[in-house]
């Protein structure tokens, strides 16, 4: 549905497929870079907060970040640091950190107490408990945080075009500038389609990481597939 709508809108604007693919590629690159950096920063921090039970102030701080307007931050950074990839990347990273950090910390902290205690009682070290018990149990929630971050970043990466970068936002801003409504709609449909596709892919990842779906385990013991 999305693809045919995009094709129809593209036909009206006379833009070629190569350009559309370039813009989608740029959009994915900006989004991937920002989400990647956010994961590198927020996942270790979330693991630490959840596992050690310390640094809860970081969660409160990250939640306050949610109120920060990305467009304002990005335009301010362009004026202060100059144009380029850095301003939108910083704005998008700050957008992606809160959901990843809070979901990771919550998942690790709320991992089944009995399982954690049992692991310690079996003689596991703190590191083993984190890696072998808490992270596998927290994985679905961590993926949910990633999903929410990806949705927000892909949607917001459109504003990179406002400071003269590429990405799908280019179609929306150029279309508005020359009053070419078809081009605006093409941009809107492409962003929505990309968001839906990525969300669908991550939904599959979430399903694969759900408890009771560990490879091999399911085949051997039927109890493992019973969910609480």
Partner 1 sequence: MIWLLENPDPFWPLLAEHTVLSVLPTLLGLLFALPVGAALRGRPRARALAVLIAGILFTIPSLALFVVIPGVLGTQILDPLNVVLALTLYALALLVRAVLDSLDGVPVAVRSAAQAMGYAPARRIAAVELPIALPVLIPALRVVLVTNVSLVSVGAVIGIGGLGRLFTAGYQRSYPDQILAGIIGTVVLALVLDRLLALVGRSLTRWDRAGRTAA
- Work out how close the CB of 118 gets to partner 1 at its nearest, in angstroms, rounded to a whole number: 30
- Work out how close the CB of 40 gets to partner 1 at its nearest, in angstroms, rounded to a whole number: 24
Residue 9 vs 130, nearer CB to partner 1: 9
Residue 18 vs 67, nearer CB to partner 1: 67
DSSP 210: S
- Work out how close the CB of 174 gets to partner 1 at its nearest, in angstroms, rounded to a whole number: 12
Under 8 Å CB-to-CB from 18, ≥6 apart: which residues?
none
Looking only at Cα atoms, what is the longest distance across the chain? 68
Positions touching partner 1 (CB under 8 A) are 64, 66-73, 75-76, 78-80, 151, 154-156, 158-159, 162-163, 169, 172-173, 176, 181, 184-185, 187-189, 191-192, 195-196, 199
- Work out how close the CB of 25 gets to partner 1 at its nearest, in angstroms, rounded to a whole number: 18
Residue 12 vs 126, nearer CB to partner 1: 12
Residue 196 vs 205, nearer CB to partner 1: 196
- Work out how close the CB of 150 gets to partner 1 at its nearest, in angstroms, rounded to a whole number: 10
Residue 46 vs 169, nearer CB to partner 1: 169
- Work out how close the CB of 155 gets to partner 1 at its nearest, in angstroms, rounded to a whole number: 3
Residue 133 vs 154, nearer CB to partner 1: 154
């Amino acid at each position: 549905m999305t693809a045919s709508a995009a094709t129809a809108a593209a036909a009206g604007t006379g833009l070629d497929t190569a350009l559309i693919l370039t813009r989608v590629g740029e959009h994915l690159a900006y989004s991937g870079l920002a989400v990647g950096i956010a994961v590198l920063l927020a996942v270790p921090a979330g693991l630490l907060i959840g596992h050690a039970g310390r640094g809860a102030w970081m969660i409160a701080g990250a939640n306050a970040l949610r109120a920060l307007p990305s467009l304002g931050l990005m335009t301010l950074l362009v004026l202060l640091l100059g144009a380029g990839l850095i301003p939108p990347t910083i704005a998008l990273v700050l957008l992606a950190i809160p959901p990843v950090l809070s979901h990771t910390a919550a998942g690790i902290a709320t991992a089944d107490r009995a399982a954690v205690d049992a692991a310690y009682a079996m003689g596991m070290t703190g590191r083993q408990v984190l890696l072998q018990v808490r992270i596998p149990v927290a994985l679905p929630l961590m993926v949910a945080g990633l999903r929410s971050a990806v949705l927000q970043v892909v949607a917001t990466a459109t504003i990179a075009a406002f400071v003269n970068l590429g990405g799908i936002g280019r179609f929306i801003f150029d279309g508005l500038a020359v009053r070419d409504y078809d081009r605006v709609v093409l941009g809107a449909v492409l962003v929505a389609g990309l968001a839906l596709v990525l969300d669908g892919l991550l939904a599959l990842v979430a399903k694969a990481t759900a408890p009771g779906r560990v490879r091999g385990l399911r085949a051997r013991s039927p109890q493992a597939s019973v969910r609480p």
